Structure 1
Amino acid sequence: MNTPEFPETPASGTTAPPSSADNRRAIIAWPALRTLAWHRPLLAATAAMAVLVVVCLVGLLIDPRSLTGAPVWAKPLKFSISVLVYAASLAWLLGILSARRRRLAWWIGTVSTIALVIEMVIIVGMHALQVIPRTALLLEVLASRLVALRAPVVRLRLIRLVIGLYLGVLAILTGQALAGESIVRPDALVTTLTIALVAAVALAATLVLSAASRAALPPTDAAAP
């Protein structure tokens, strides 16, 4: 009598070898990965960040300076790595979109690239999220001691001047970055603009405080007949 035949099962702890169909699917998938339409501007940004990562690593090795207890190159290194990962991931994700969405994706990637290029400078502006609230808090504290600051409109005007100063500094730094100029070695035009900006803000603040001081003075008694 013939005994039934059962399919052989792999031994415990082992896995079955991939079937021919699985091999064909893997072979088909690899060319698709190689032929992805990677976003070139984002790839260029990725390469630039990779170079910056190397520069920061070298800086950590040869530059012993520290700021607030941390190496001066630590924060630029972390930022460069995060931008590198973001740019590379976005370049890959945009490449796997369908053809009809590819054009919109290209513009999205291009805008992201432009933002990443100037983000190293614009990151300075993010410190305004700390400076402006602290300035407002400081003015509130000083208002209890200085008569000129007791009016809310005066404090608001001073805060607006601080915001204007920040925007002006940000514009100057952005112009230096786009011109490829070192921040610590400004040319005559940048130096002149910086001095003019600081002088204008200082003059405006002086006028605001002077007007507030005059308004806070008690009215003089009318002359006796």
Structure 2
Amino acid sequence: MNTEPLAKTLRGAASWNRPLMVLTGVMLVAALGSALGLVVDDRVLTGAPIWLKPFKFAVSIALYSIAWAWMISLLPRKSRLVTASAATITAVLAVEYVIIVVQVVRGKRSHFNVQTPFDSAMFSIMGVSIGVLWVATLLLSIVAVRHKFGSYADTIAVRVGVVVAMLGISAGFLMLGPTSDQLASMKNDTFQGFVGAHSVGVPDGGPGLPVTDWSTTGGDLRIPHFVGMHALQFFPLLAIALLALATRIPALRPDRVRARLLMVAGGGYTAVLGLLTWQALRGQPMVHPDGLTLATLGVIVVAVVAGGVWALRTPAPVEADERELVAA
């Protein structure tokens, strides 16, 4: 078996952006370590295996880092702003992950925990780090949105991905405010030392879905946070999939058609993200939607299907990239 193409691809990927790719590698190792922790450490924290959070964060950070490293590698010029933003993202994500692991080793919650001065300091550092991450990602997103990435379809995919990802990151801020129960406990001297929550309508740590641990009894703001952030990977992968299908489906060969489909998908994805956020804020589990949620989802699906039909049926000029695709 010839492994040279794979080796060449890996060598190329390693040079995309050194800090982010180093972080990706470290997080992959951390994911393996956390998976081992799930096997050998039977401790449970807030209703879930204690090493589940480090595992999920390691995978998520790895995906986030490699996506940005790839996009940065496509920029024709690496400005100081891009270099500094990438380094900042690397640093704050590393800090956040270290704090998560430290708290796991101590058997304590990392998020929303202000029980002791040390816990409060750790959570405060995480809060500042996330704010810095948001700003650094916003700066990179502005650069990415202004750049042309190959074809029109590829450019739309990246632009939609980074914009929706910013919305997903922003959803995380909805978890930081004290809940009504926490505010009441502060007034009647029953405060338990936690400010903020990812669950809505139920306490954190209740029944949840396998692996993700998303609440099955109340709203969960981690869902729109996750779905939004990973638009960063979804839309470039969708663009790649459409291009691959274009070799077999003539209607997809024009670049403008694929771009229109990506815009329709972006609108639908954003609408679903809004629906998930609204559902969580109403304290409704994702797996138990009510009639209003299902009706809204139905409207979104109909709109996306109609948009897809429009994108496919609207004439598009024969372009140079289409002729190259047919020739290939």
State the TM-score, normalizing by the size of structure 2. 0.35
Structure index of larger Rg: 1
